[in-house]
Amino acid sequence: MIKAERSFWEKVLYDQKYDLIVIGAGLTGQSVSYFFKKKHPNKKVLVLDRGFFPIGASTRNAGFACFGSPTEHMADLKIEEESRIIDRIRKRFDGLQLLRYTLGDDNIDYREPGAYEIFTDVGIYDKAAEQLPIFNRWLKEAAGVDNVYQKTTHNGFKAIGIKHEGCLHPGKMMRTLYRKNMRLGVEFRWQAKVEKLDTASRSILLDNGIELHSENIVIATNSFTSKLLSDIEIKPGRGFVFVTKPIFDLKWTGTYHFDAGYYYFRGVDNNRFLLGGARSYDIDVETTTEFGTNERIKNHLLKFANSVLKLPAGWEIDTEWSGIMGFTPTKSPILKSISDGVLLVAGLSGMGIALGMQLGKEAVEELT
């Protein structure tokens, strides 16, 4: 990091107090800045991020605009009461609608083919099918939609169809939101790592020695929150994803879930195939904030693609990467006051696309 003495002219840049500083420039953080600036156009807003781009999960996820598969709901029932799960589904569904309305479907390459959860275990399928009336009631109560989950078959598998689920392009999503923030006059500082946060004085010390002050601070760092607030219980979860080169006669062109949402795959443009997840296959190793490829999981996904999904012979990976998600013990996100004028919004538990913008808007309502 470059460290240099400050010039006379730079005082206008540095010696000022902001009305809001947001730590974290992902979907949640930029949504906070957007809705705050829309509400208070004359106030000064600054967004900080340690990366050249948002580096956690907002531009590194698989682009699923989803609200939950049946086996995910089954798993959630083991750790949380029904009313809270319904409330979380409501937030996910509302969040997706808000995201689409705010950014525009064309700007984010949104499409809504519906989704399928596929099954290789008949016993698990039968248990999920038995609970579809319950899960359909949840969606009716949470979002006012009927018969979302339906038994079916797909590509030779027993499956459950999921209406109203879609997918999008995360890079275009973040680019559109960033441009909207810039037009509103929100300031950004990239590659600005927060070294110390003083919640009492609402001051932030960067690793280059610059100190910033704000009337309000929102911490939107998701999986990396513990680096600033050690007492917050959010576990990181690394997710591996790859996209293939174009595959002739690809039959997996929709959006798909498998095994409580731990595996996810879909078709992307020009007959490419995206596959990611399997964090559960080596979950202790994947509970990390370090980016990188777990070869054990990669090889497992390759086997899954060939042996289970039976992709056509000769397919090749074009691009692979990892992203870091943040999980709370119950998967419900955290939105709470840390001190006067300091809010935390984090722990989106793998549902950042669905929850990020809605939580950002709710955070602004808490501040004002």
Q: What is the pLDDT of residue 42?
A: 98
**CB atoms near residue 211 (< 10 Å):** 13
**Domains along the sequence of the chain with CATH:** 16-59+171-232+330-367 (3.50.50.60), 70-148+158-165 (no CATH), 235-327 (3.30.9.10)
Q: What is the pLDDT of residue 368?
A: 74
Pick from 355, 363, 365: nearest CA to 98: 355
Can you tell me the distance from the alpha carbon of 96 to that of 355, in angstroms, rounded to the nearest whole number?
Answer: 7
Q: What is the pLDDT of residue 4?
A: 73
Q: What is the pLDDT of residue 59?
A: 93
Residue with tokens 């967004």: 47
CA distances from 259 to 7, 68, 75, 340 (A): 57, 12, 10, 42
Can you tell me the distance from the alpha carbon of 163 to that of 68, in angstroms, rounded to the nearest whole number?
Answer: 11
What is 87-149 written as a DSSP string?
HHHHHHHHHHHHHHHHH-TGGGT-B---EEEEES-HHHHHHHHHTHHHHHHHHHHHH-----E
Residue with tokens 């086997």: 303
Q: What is the pLDDT of residue 2?
A: 67
Amino acid at 158: K
Can you tell me the distance from the alpha carbon of 257 to that of 162, in angstroms, rounded to the nearest whole number?
Answer: 10
Name the token pair of 295. 């070869």
pLDDT tens-digit profile of 344-359?
999 999 999 999 999 9
Backbone angles phi, psi at 2, to 5 degrees: -70, 130
What is the maximum span of the chain, computed from C-alpha positions, in angstroms?
A: 72
Q: What is the pTM of this model?
A: 0.95
Query: Contact, 31 vs 39, CB < 8 A?
Result: no
Residues in the chain, pLDDT under 50: none
Can you tell me the distance from the alpha carbon of 94 to that of 287, in angstroms, rounded to the nearest whole number?
Answer: 29
Residues contacting residue 275 through CB under 8 Å, at least 6 positions apart: 241, 242, 263, 264, 265, 301, 304, 305, 309
